[in-house]
Amino acid sequence: MPPAYDLLVIGDANPDVILGPLTDPLAFGQREQLIDSGSLVLGGSAAIMACGAARLGLKVAFAGRVGDDDAGRYVRDALADRGVDTHALTLDPDLSTPLTVVLTRGDDRAVLTAPGSLTATSGRDVPDDLLTRSRHVHCASYFLQPRLAADLPGLLRTARAHDATTSLDTQDVPTGAWDRAALDAVLAETDILLPNAQEALCLAGPGTASPQHAAELLAARVPLVVVKNGAEGALCHDGRTLATAPAPTLTPQDTVGAGDSFDAGFVAATLHGRPPHEALRFAAVCGALSTRAPGGTAAQPTWDEVLAHTTLSGAHVS
């Protein structure tokens, strides 16, 4: 039986309230501050990645948990409107939908998240038929979902046993306590690791000299490590070869979710048979073009838009 989906995405989905840019320090004491713009958009690393992949033409399913409330129904409808299958998105009757407020200032941002149903998301929210009938399985926001994290090695093992490839974007650790040992069982079932530069340094451990060094160290544990490095572009390492791609020249309007759109681009290009150095260049353009509008999904590019902005031979391999 052929795969039903190109991609299954497992993880977080929530509304994002994006406010900014702040020009003065955030003030308490019931003081009201005015900012230039505010928007309510679909958020969550996994949800943004799923939408980006669907925009690139992949057949995408999403598995996760939100509350059975107005915010949860907003998330479900926003995913479906962007072409993502949501039949495995559980509406929890007892817990609220996660909610994130993003405060922007210059090219930086502060992120405040109420986790809600994220703490209850687990492997039981992922139907076996999706694991066994998807070409690729991606998980995001590992550290925000402790129950799912504990179940993830088994989920990815099942997917790989049915010829799927797998990827993981851990995202940051809100507590600042990076438990690298706990990740070992997950990394053993991961084909592509997709951290940003700071996350790669933390995952690689103390004494790591650079994102390139981190990628080399992590490539001893994962077949392919792909590191997003902001204005410096991106790089990947397969344990033998380092490839780099420059960041496209573009003035961003909003960088929220750019890394997730990068992930979508890398997975999509890989599923289309592109080698890692070409997938890296393609993904860098996906991330850059997603910054053209507020929020993570409004400006995500199509496949043809990405090709119009890049030559896939632009990556450097050493």
Segment 106-149, tens digit of pLDDT:
778 899 999 999 999 999 999 999 999 999 999 999 999 999 99
216 in any annotated domain = yes
**What's the CATH number where 83 sits?**
3.40.1190.20
Q: What does the alpha-carbon distance between residue 280 and residue 284 come to, in Å, rounded to a whole number?
A: 6
| Residue in the block written with tokens 């700071």 | 198
27 in any annotated domain = no
What pTM, to 2 d.p., does this model score?
0.95
Local confidence band at 221 (pLDDT 50, 70, 90 cut-offs): very high
28 in any annotated domain = no
Task: Give pLDDT, residue 6.
Answer: 98
Q: What does the alpha-carbon distance between residue 90 and residue 97 come to, in Å, rounded to a whole number?
A: 11
Position 313 pLDDT exceeds 70:
no
Q: Is the CA virtual torsion 136, 195, 192, 317 positive or negative?
A: positive
Position 17 pLDDT exceeds 60:
yes
- Structural domain total, the chain: 1
Segment 56-76, tens digit of pLDDT:
999 999 999 999 999 999 999
DSSP state of 196: B
Task: Give pLDDT, residue 253.
Answer: 83
59 in any annotated domain = yes
Cα torsion through 284, 282, 190, 184, rounded to 10: -20
Position 309 pLDDT exceeds 90:
no
286 in any annotated domain = yes
Q: 290 lies in which domain range?
A: 5-22+37-317
Segment 154-168, tens digit of pLDDT:
999 999 999 999 999
30 in any annotated domain = no
Token pair listed for 57 = 């033409």
19 vs 175, more confident: 19
255 in any annotated domain = yes
121 in any annotated domain = yes
Q: What's the rounded mean pLDDT across residues 235-250? A: 94
Q: What does the alpha-carbon distance between residue 208 and residue 187 come to, in Å, rounded to a whole number?
A: 19
| Measured CA distances, 238 to 265, 268, 275 (Å) | 18, 18, 11
